[in-house]
Amino acid sequence: MAKMMTKAQIVSHLAPKTGVTKATTSSFLEELAKLAAKETKNGFTIPGIGKVVLVQRKARMGRNPRTGEPIKIPAKKVVRFRIAKAFKDSVFGGKK
């Protein structure tokens, strides 16, 4: 199985395709990540890829794996990434 691309590999791949320097490409990726983190509470869409959203998870009952004792897991907010249908179709080939 192939390894995931590192940030440096992504920058090296995108810089020549966009005609800008590696430093500019790296700066763009960093700013995109900062903007996504800042705007997640409202939902942040990356066109063609998916959407980053903040979701409220309900409180629930769990179990301590060591003792088997039931425990209450409190409600909390979590970040989710919802993949766009077009992206799924391009990866999996869509319906045939």
Burial of 6 (0-12, 13-18, 19+ CB in 10 A): exposed
Which tens digit of pLDDT belongs to each residue from 9-34? 999 999 999 999 999 999 999 999 99
**43-96 to CATH, choices 1.20.1290.10, 4.10.520.10, 2.60.40.1120, 3.20.10.10:** 4.10.520.10
Task: Give CA–CA dist 62/93, Å, rounded.
Answer: 38
Which tens digit of pLDDT belongs to each residue from 35-85? 999 999 999 999 999 999 999 999 999 999 999 999 999 999 999 999 999
